[in-house]
């Protein structure tokens, strides 16, 4: 008997094997394939931005050079299910299910494998570790997708965390508003708002994902007082284009979601065909900064291999001559700035 169970809403999922070729069965036996009915409905034609994110591709099997866990999450795990890399925050992997298995997922080694999300015993040990570590102020629920759990399981996890005094904020990383918006129910919102301050970071990658349904899901969460952020992954052939990104980031603001991170693709095995150069990401940030509302500009980050953590990178290459900095404006103009501190 496990306390932690998956949400019944997920039973409406349908796989779309009928649209795939026999080749892709080879891929799906290695990396699970699942596409929610809603998300499949967003596909307009084969090979579009939605299709590429969810349909298996033979190139996933050809990429054997990369490592399954380059960020060394496994070695940063003090107890099963918990990743503790930064002093004041931890990631708790509460689920290994998602409504859609994104082909570029950085946890491709874990998602969709086995049926147990986090057992009762593992949850107890993780909560004990957090309770015994007063430096932890921020707990990030991730997975898989935490909102794939049923409400009772979420209640159990969230109340366990809230019982720990030094846990100041709780964050949930979820793609459910994008891939299974019907899971955002009034009941779920009522439950979540009992655990404030609670933040949600969602994961939109393309303007086609901003629909009436995903907008409604975000509005319901925002109306429950939950600040919404977004983490986008920079994906070759999907959103590696300044115009697409401008439309996406400004579109997110209009549904009350603040762009938080733009992630350089991690060096995860099976995902090489999605990776762009870092220069592409910088070009996109350059095309955003100053040209659209500052609220629409995410931090462009690279999660360094070896568990060294995220670094934010900026397009302005700062050149210094003594106290003079040469900065580049959003129009590309170089401007000298005197870096003087007067007391
Ligand atoms: C990204 C990440 C976090 C959260 O980082 P923020 O920059 O605070 O959003 C925490 N732990 C791990 C292991 C991470 O990869
Ligand atoms: S929703 Fe997130 S965790 Fe799940 S497959 Fe997609 S990227 Fe991975």
- Helix (H), strand (E), coil (C) string for 213-241: HHHHHHHHHHHCCCCEEEEEECCCCCCCC
Query: What is the spatial distance between Cα 203 and Cα 190, in angstroms, rounded to a whole number?
Result: 22
Contact, 300 vs 313, CB < 8 A? yes
Query: What is the spatial distance between Cα 217 and Cα 183, in angstroms, rounded to a whole number?
Result: 8
Q: Which atom of ligand 1 is nearest to the CA of 90?
A: 11
pLDDT tens digits for range 268-303? 999 999 999 988 999 999 999 999 999 999 999 998
pLDDT tens digits for range 15-42? 454 455 667 789 999 999 999 999 999 9
Superfamily of domain 63-317: Aldolase class I (3.20.20.70)
Q: Which atom of ligand 2 is nearest to the CA of 104?
A: 7
Query: Which residues are catalytic, by number?
Result: 85-86, 89, 98, 102, 105, 107, 266, 303, 310
Specify which residues 123 forms β-bridges with: none
Kindly report the pTM of this predicted structure: 0.92
Neighbours of 328 (CB within 10 A): 16
Question: Which protein residues are within 6 Å of ligand 1, measured from CB?
Answer: 83, 85-86, 89, 91, 140, 310
Alpha helix ranges (H) inside 241-300: 242-254, 278-288
Neighbours of 22 (CB within 10 A): 6
pLDDT tens digits for range 30-76? 999 999 999 999 999 999 999 999 999 999 998 876 788 888 888 89
Find the 124 Cα to ligand 2 centroid distance in Å: 25
- The DSSP symbol for 268 reads B
pLDDT tens digits for range 148-188? 999 999 999 999 999 999 999 999 999 999 999 999 999 99
Query: What is the spatial distance between Cα 265 and Cα 15, in angstroms, rounded to a whole number?
Result: 26
Question: Secondary structure of the chain: what % helix, strand, coil (to 5)?
Answer: 35, 20, 45
Q: Which atom of ligand 1 is nearest to the CA of 91?
A: 11
Find the 206 Cα to ligand 2 centroid distance in Å: 15
Query: What is the spatial distance between Cα 246 and Cα 287, in angstroms, rounded to a whole number?
Result: 8
């Amino acid at each position: 008997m496990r306390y932690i169970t998956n949400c019944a809403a997920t039973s409406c999922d349908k796989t779309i094997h009928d649209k795939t070729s026999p080749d892709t069965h080879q891929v799906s036996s290695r990396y699970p394939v699942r596409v929610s009915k809603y998300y499949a409905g967003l596909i307009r034609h084969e090979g579009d931005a939605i299709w590429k994110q969810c349909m298996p591709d033979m190139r996933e099997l050809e990429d054997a050079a990369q490592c399954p866990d380059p960020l060394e999450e496994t070695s940063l795990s003090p107890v099963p299910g918990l990743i503790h890399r930064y002093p004041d925050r931890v990631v708790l992997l509460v689920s290994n299910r998602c409504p859609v298995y994104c082909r570029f997922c950085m946890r491709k080694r874990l998602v969709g494998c086995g049926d147990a999300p986090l057992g009762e015993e593992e949850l107890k040990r993780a909560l004990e570790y957090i309770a015994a570590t007063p430096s932890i102020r921020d707990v990030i629920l991730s997975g898989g997708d935490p909102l794939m759990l049923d409400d009772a399981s979420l209640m159990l996890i969230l109340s366990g965390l809230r019982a720990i005094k030094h846990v100041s904020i709780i964050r949930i990383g979820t793609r459910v508003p994008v891939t299974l918006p019907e899971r955002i129910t009034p009941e779920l919102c009522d439950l979540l708002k009992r655990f404030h301050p609670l933040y949600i970071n969602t994961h939109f990658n393309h303007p086609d994902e901003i629909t009436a349904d995903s907008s409604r899901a975000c509005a319901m969460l925002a109306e429950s007082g939950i600040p919404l952020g977004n983490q986008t992954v920079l994906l070759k052939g999907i959103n590696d284009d300044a115009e697409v990104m401008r439309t996406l980031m400004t579109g997110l603001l209009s549904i009350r979601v603040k762009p938080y991170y733009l992630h350089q693709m991690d060096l995860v095995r099976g995902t090489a065909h999605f990776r762009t150069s870092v220069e592409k990401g910088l070009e996109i940030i350059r095309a955003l900064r100053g040209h659209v509302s500052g609220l629409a500009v995410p931090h462009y980050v690279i999660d360094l291999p070896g568990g060294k953590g995220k670094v934010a990178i900026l397009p302005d290459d700062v050149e210094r001559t003594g106290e003079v900095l040469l900065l580049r404006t959003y129009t590309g103009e170089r401007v000298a700035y005197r870096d003087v501190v007067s007391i």
